[in-house]
């Protein structure tokens, strides 16, 4: 039935809710910023409760898929689930900590301890040999059984000491190629445009939407 004004009324589409397989509030904020930048009405929410998932596959894609499937198993059948696995791969350490980045200082330590350990381990490595890359794999699972996978990478070097108060994890130690600031010194928009996670997200969106 038409309205009294003679104009039909439209209802804005509801945003698509995506559950993130993480308890890290920083990651939720970062993914929401990425989603907002690419449009499409996506709303990010941390999965709760987040089950304890062993990250023992030895690969970023294996760990991400394992986390996504674990979360999907207890959510409504209509849910979308996104999981990421990422880490910093240091040339001088043969690619370590890599998939073990979250546990570099031990299974019961936090991100500060991980950052402090990497800073200490790299102290004797000269400036010309401090190459590193941040790598990320995203796995998005849909309610229809679909799976989308995307990878992102950002190359750079490690500073001698952590600098910057933004970001999280190893961000204060990592200076991306072409920049004179660490991830933790960059504003969020700049970081999202060049980061491993931002690049993976762009590829994922191109596949999915």
Per-domain residue ranges of the chain:
16-208
- Reading phi first (left if > 0) and then psi (alpha if -120 to 50, else beta), residue 58 is in left
Q: What is the dihedral of CA 164, 38, 25, 134, to 10 degrees?
A: -50
Instruction: Name the more confident of 9 and 177.
Output: 177
**pLDDT tens digits, 68-121:** 999 999 998 899 999 999 999 999 999 999 999 999 999 888 899 999 999 999
CB neighbour list of residue 128: distance below 8 Å, 6 or more residues apart: none
Q: What is the mean pLDDT of residues 159-169?
A: 92
Predicted confidence band of residue 52 (pLDDT cuts 50, 70, 90) = confident
Q: Which of 41-55, 86-100, 131-145 has the lowest mean pLDDT?
A: 41-55
User: Do 113 and 105 touch, CB atoms closer than 8 A?
Assistant: yes
Predicted local confidence at residue 5, as pLDDT: 44
What 3-state class would DSSP assign to 180?
A: coil
Positions annotated as catalytic residues are 85
Number of H helices, E strands in the chain: 5, 6
Predicted local confidence at residue 3, as pLDDT: 42
CB neighbour list of residue 110: distance below 8 Å, 6 or more residues apart: none
Domain 16-208, CATH class in plain words? alpha beta
pTM, entire model: 0.88
**pLDDT tens digits, 21-39:** 998 888 899 899 999 988 7
């Amino acid at each position: 039935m038409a309205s009294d004004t003679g104009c039909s009324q439209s209802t804005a589409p509801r945003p698509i809710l995506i559950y993130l397989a993480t308890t890290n509030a920083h990651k939720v904020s970062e993914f929401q910023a990425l989603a907002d930048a690419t449009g499409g009405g996506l709303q990010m929410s941390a999965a709760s409760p987040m089950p304890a998932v062993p990250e023992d596959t030895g690969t970023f894609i294996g760990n991400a898929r394992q986390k996504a499937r674990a979360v999907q198993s207890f959510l409504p059948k209509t849910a979308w689930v996104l999981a990421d696995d990422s880490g910093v791969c240091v040339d001088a350490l043969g690619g370590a900590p890599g998939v073990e980045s979250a546990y570099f200082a031990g299974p019961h330590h936090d991100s500060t301890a991980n950052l402090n350990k990497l800073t200490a381990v790299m102290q004797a490595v000269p400036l010309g040999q401090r190459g590193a890359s941040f790598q990320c794999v995203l796995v998005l699972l849909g309610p229809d059984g679909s799976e989308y996978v995307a990878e992102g990478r950002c190359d750079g070097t490690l500073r001698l000491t952590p600098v910057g108060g933004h970001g999280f994890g190893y961000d204060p130690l990592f200076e991306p190629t072409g920049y004179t600031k660490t991830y933790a010194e960059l504003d969020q928009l700049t970081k999202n445009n060049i980061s491993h996670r931002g690049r993976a997200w762009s590829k994922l969106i191109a596949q999915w939407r």
